[in-house]
Amino acid sequence: MSSIRIPRLTFSRPHPELILNLGSGLAVLAILAIVSYLLGRERDSVEQSSIRASSNIVQLIESDILNNAELYDQSLKELIWAVGRRDLAQVPAAMRHRLLFNPALVDQSRGDVLWLDAKGDVVGDSTNIVPRQANFADTGVFQVHRDQPQVGLFIGPPFKARLGDMNWCISFSRRISGANGEFVGVATGALRLSYFTELFQRLDIGERSSVNLLNTGGHLLAREPLGPGQPAIGVNFSQQPNFQRILDERSGSFTAYSPLFDEQRMYTFARVGNLPLIVLVAHSTDEVFQGWRRTALIVGMATGVLCLGILWLTVLLGRELHRRHTAEQGLATLAATDSLTGLANRRHLDQVLRQEWARALRNRTSLAVLMVDVDHFKAFNQRHGHAGGDHALREVARTIELSIRRPADLAARYGGEEFQVVLPETELAGARMLAERIRLSVEALPIFSGDERPITVSIGIGLHEAGTQHDLTSVLSAADEALYRAKANGRNRVEGPGA
């Protein structure tokens, strides 16, 4: 009885097509990763460049506003100083006007400066020696200074001037106090917001971007561009989440959704010194990244074409490798197969014998070899010709192959009408059982036309047992001797070693 054979683990080389596909896939992934990284880094670079440019604009405007605020504050302080002089009434009107409103500090093209008394009436006007007549007691600026002595320089919300054609303005104002701290009036200056509009117009920031000046109360003081569909001067943004963030952070940059424009916008902003003013530059992210998107599209398309080309070439090369592999396997099969019977040929048989012999010695297991010879084949060949003989050999070979059932067993054509079966890890009882199965199966084949007897085979068994000192040649010789004994004893029989 044949012993249970322990399966042997075999390690085959990875298929060339698998290696090719894996390599191409990794190459494509690497290309995509590198291109994505470079495009991402380029996008960050574009964003940082836009932020730097916007920050420069903000700093430029902030510096200009601080300069104007300082000039207005200085002119207000000098006005308050002049008002406090006791000899002011004795000074001639022209000189008094020059003393109150220093022309070096007051630029008439930007706005005017007024002296209001405790009732809110204009008693001094930078534009005329004879002041224009108006009362500002009802204004919030006047009331703030009247009711809150501790307020210093106060910048009011945007307003439309009551005097002249100044249109939208913002005011800079200070309280005028008497010798005992009592309220005696207000020194106030109006700065035309059109000045900032003209300043903003000189900046090239893009069609869908804007430069804005707001106060901390959320009122829009100036904006460029200011066209149809744009927020109007004086609009309050104090309830907008983006403005609340700007107010909290004081300076910096962030990107957020703008409900007003229904798009993502990039905001760069800064508080103007200690003044209640905020300079804001807002860019449309679509405009900022327009050039980058065009570049990304071109690079992406080129990368896609490259990756598709690599994959296409991989498919073509894979097909060629598959054809080559199939051809090599076919050649290897042909080289190891007997062309007549389809069994293993002598060359392949010798290789398997050496491998199984080495394994049997290494694992200390048994190895059986069957020598199978077709009885009276020469006479059969003479009766039926070579075609009939070939047919008989094919039938015998098919029968032998069907009789062996283990994957490790090998049936081969030894030469002429002789066959050999290699049975690894098989004891004598198992080898004899298989030999009898082969003999009976061959004997059961249909009788050829014109013959009275069926085809039969004689089988000799050669055996190597674990722990013996046999060599492969002696095992094969034993099988050959057993075969001759089977023939000598009447054929159509099985003989074992030494029997």
- Listing DSSP states for 117-166 in one string gives ETTSBEEEETTBSSPPP-B-TTSHHHHHHHH-TT--SEEPPPEE-SSTT-
Determine the Cα–Cα distance for residues 25 and 34; give it in Å rounded to an integer: 14
- Residue 236 within any structural domain of the chain: yes
139 and 114, same domain (yes or no): yes
> Rounded CA gap, 391 and 105, in Å?
125
Among residues 282, 275, 157, 142, the alpha carbon closest in space to that of 217 is found at 157
How many contiguous H segments (helices) and E segments (strands) does the chain have? 11, 16
In a domain, 327, yes or no: no
Torsion angle of C-alpha atoms 58, 59, 64, 67, degrees rounded to 10: 140
Residue 499 has a pLDDT of 54
Together in a domain, 129 and 207: no
SS3 content of the chain, % helix, strand, coil (to 5): 45, 20, 30
Amino acid occupying residue 225: P
Residues in contact with 177: Cβ distance below 8 Å, sequence separation at least 6, in sequence order: 149, 183, 184
Distance CA 118, CA 175 (A): 10
Residue 405, domain CATH: 3.30.70.270
CA pair distance 62, 58, nearest whole angstrom:
6
Residue 212 dihedral angles phi and psi, to the nearest 5°: -130, 150
How far is it, in rounded angstroms, from Cα 187 to Cα 114?
6
Domain-located, residue 308:
no
Number of domains the chain contains: 3
How far apart are alpha carbons 491 and 27 in whole angstroms? 67
What is the structure's pLDDT at 166?
62
Residue 448 lies in a domain: yes
112, part of any domain: yes
Cα dist from 424 to 41, 403, 404, whole Å: 65, 15, 12
Is 3 within a domain? no
Kindly state whether residues 179 and 199 are assigned to the same domain. no
Query: Are the C-beta atoms of residues 462 and 369 closer than 8 Å to each other?
Result: yes
Tokens of residue 82, six digits = 């002049």
Residues 244 and 350 occupy one common structural domain: no
Same domain, 255 and 403: no
Of 136, 166, 192, the residue at which a domain comes to its end is: 192
Cα–Cα distance measured from residue 275 to residue 171, given in angstroms and rounded to the nearest whole number: 12
10 Å CB burial of residue 231 (0-12, 13-18, 19+) is middle
- One pLDDT digit (tens) per residue for the chain, 499 residues: 333 333 333 444 556 778 888 889 999 999 999 999 999 999 999 999 999 999 998 998 889 888 888 888 899 999 899 888 888 878 888 888 888 888 777 777 788 899 999 999 999 998 888 888 989 999 989 999 999 989 888 988 888 777 776 678 888 999 999 888 899 999 998 888 888 888 888 887 777 888 988 988 888 888 888 767 677 888 889 899 999 999 999 899 999 998 888 889 999 999 988 888 899 999 999 988 999 999 999 999 999 999 999 999 988 888 888 888 788 877 777 778 888 998 999 999 999 999 999 999 999 999 999 999 999 999 999 999 999 999 999 999 999 999 998 989 999 999 899 999 999 999 999 999 999 999 999 999 999 888 888 999 999 999 998 877 778 999 999 999 999 999 999 999 999 987 5
3-state secondary structure at position 352: helix
What would the pLDDT profile of 328-339 be if each residue is shown by its tens digit?
Answer: 877 777 778 888
CATH of the domain at 200: 3.30.450.20
Q: Give the pLDDT score at 7.
A: 37
Same structural domain for residues 180 and 246? no
Q: Which tokens is 10 given?
A: 């075999």
Taking the C-alpha atoms of residue 4 and residue 401, their distance in angstroms, rounded to an integer, is: 20
Q: Is residue 12 part of a domain?
A: no
User: In terms of domains, do 214 and 188 share one?
Assistant: no
Q: Same domain, yes or no, for 172 and 208?
A: no
From 164, 192, 220, give the residue that closes a domain.
Answer: 192
d(CA 341, CA 440): 20
In a domain, 128, yes or no: yes
Q: Are 209 and 290 contacting, i.e. CB atoms less than 8 angstroms apart?
A: no
Residues of the domain holding 131: 84-192
Question: Same structural domain for residues 282 and 401?
Answer: no
Residues 6 or more apart whose Cβ sits within 8 Å of residue 247: 216, 278
Instruction: Indicate the residue type of 410.
Output: L
* Sheet bearing 410-415, strands edge to edge: 410-415, 418-424, 367-374, 457-464, 494-495
Same domain for 422 and 456, yes or no, is yes
- Distances from the Cα of 428 to the Cα of 368, 463, 485, angstroms: 7, 7, 17
| Closest to 208 in 3D by CA, of 293, 265, 266, 283 | 283
Cross-strand bridge partners of residue 210: 282
The per-residue pLDDT for 13 is 52
How many residues does the structure list for the chain? 499
Q: Of 160, 192, 224, which residue constitutes the final position of a domain? A: 192
Could you give the C-alpha distances from 117 to 77, 80, 83, 106, 199, in angstroms and in order?
16, 12, 10, 20, 34
Backbone angles phi, psi at 383, to 5 degrees: -75, -40
Are both 348 and 412 inside the same structural domain?
yes
Domain identity same for 349 and 490 = yes
